[in-house]
Amino acid sequence: MELNHKIAAIPKIMYGTAWKEAATEILVTTAIEAGFRAIDTANQRKHYNEAAVGNAITKALTTNLRRDELFLQTKFTYKDGQDERIPYDPKADFKTQVRQSFQSSLDHLQVEYIDSYLLHGPSTHVGLAEADWQIWQEMEALQKEKKVIYLGVSNIALQQLKLLFEKAEIKPTFVQNRCFAQQRWDKEVRIFCKQNNIIYQGFSLLTANSFLIPKINIIAKKMNKTPAQIIFKFSQQRGMLPLTGTNNKIHMAEDLALDFTLNDNDLNFIENIVIQ
């Protein structure tokens, strides 16, 4: 895509802003000051405070950061995933809902374009409904209008992803899924992504797998790193783009300090850790 402005590089790690409520603005500011250059949010007031994210971004952009140095990702969320604070007319057709939600996101984030725009999960657990296709086609239109650089989808099953990839005019650049060690870190979806040049974003890498920390700690002590650093580095070496949502300034710095390498034995141990 040719744009009239520079665009941010695809990040290696992203700061997630879910469930931070009143602390959102200060935490996003702290994350940017720590060195994060990619922020994930959603226009879903139930779990995110997108406007507070925008306040932090605006503060950063009026000090020492350029827009093309910051990768911003947000999402369109269906009515069923919202509370009463729906950012669009739920009685409108789906294409209008996308337009209204997207404009609301631009207003919240106080920017002119979005780096990555995700469908925040299909409307059904099996297959893709007509609503999903209408939503995706309008997202494609936003990209064609150069209001969005990349498209993606989150919370999607392998069968749904294959269907989307097969039939969509513009293929997803990103898939963002909750990543469970019990499912070998969503291995089947990750394999499909790798085969089709889709970047897999893993979230809940720590919270969904906290029971593994004692085992991970063996490697962490050997490497003189934290268990979180080990899991994030593992995810990167396995081709993922990890998300971290830590509220701790020290942990933010640690999560960015991934300039080390895990050996094959450690990678295989973590990959298969549930069946060890």
Sign of the torsion angle spanned by Cα atoms 237, 270, 189, 252:
negative
Q: Average pLDDT in the 117-142 region?
A: 98
Q: Round to whole Å and give the CA distance between 69 and 46.
A: 29
Domain that holds residue 84: 14-209
- Nearest by Cα to 132 from 173, 185, 76, 92: 76
Does 7 fall in a domain? Answer: no
Distance (Å, whole) CA 157 – CA 189: 7
- What's the confidence (pLDDT) of residue 273? 87
The CA distance from 189 to 193, in Å, is 6
pLDDT at 1: 43
User: C-alpha 32: how far from its chain's center?
Assistant: 16
Encode 102-131: b = buried (16+ Cβ within 10 Å), e = exposed: bebbbebbebebbbbbbbbbbbeeeebeee
- As a whole number of angstroms, the distance between CA 242 and CA 100 comes to 29
Which CATH number covers residue 78? 3.20.20.100
- In a domain, residue 6? The reply is no
pLDDT band at residue 6 using 50, 70 and 90 as cut-offs = confident
Instruction: Express as a percent the part of the chain with pLDDT over 70.
Output: 97
Residue 267 lies in a domain: no
In a domain, residue 126? The reply is yes
pLDDT of residue 275: 58
Q: Flag whether pLDDT at 2 surpasses 50.
A: no
Confirm whether 155 is domain-assigned: yes
**pLDDT class of 5 with cuts at 50, 70, 90:** low
User: Using the 8-state DSSP alphabet, how is residue 12 labeled?
Assistant: S
- Amino acid letter at 57? I
**Residues facing residue 18 across a β-bridge:** none
Mean pLDDT computed over every residue of the chain: 96
The per-residue pLDDT for 64 is: 83
Residue 124 lies inside a defined structural domain of this protein: yes
In a domain, 107, yes or no: yes
The total number of structural domains that make up the chain = 1
Q: pLDDT tens digit string along 194-213?
A: 999 999 999 999 999 999 99
Rounded Cα distance between 197 and 194, Å, is 5
Please indicate, yes or no, if residue 67 is contained in any of the structural domains. yes
Among 75-84, 102-111, 114-123, 206-215, which stretch is predicted with the lowest mean pLDDT? 206-215
56 vs 36: CA distance, rounded Å: 13
- What's residue 192's pLDDT? 98
pLDDT band at 118 (very low <50, low <70, confident <90, very high): very high
What pTM value is reported for the model? 0.95
The band of 177, judged by pLDDT with boundaries at 50, 70 and 90, is very high
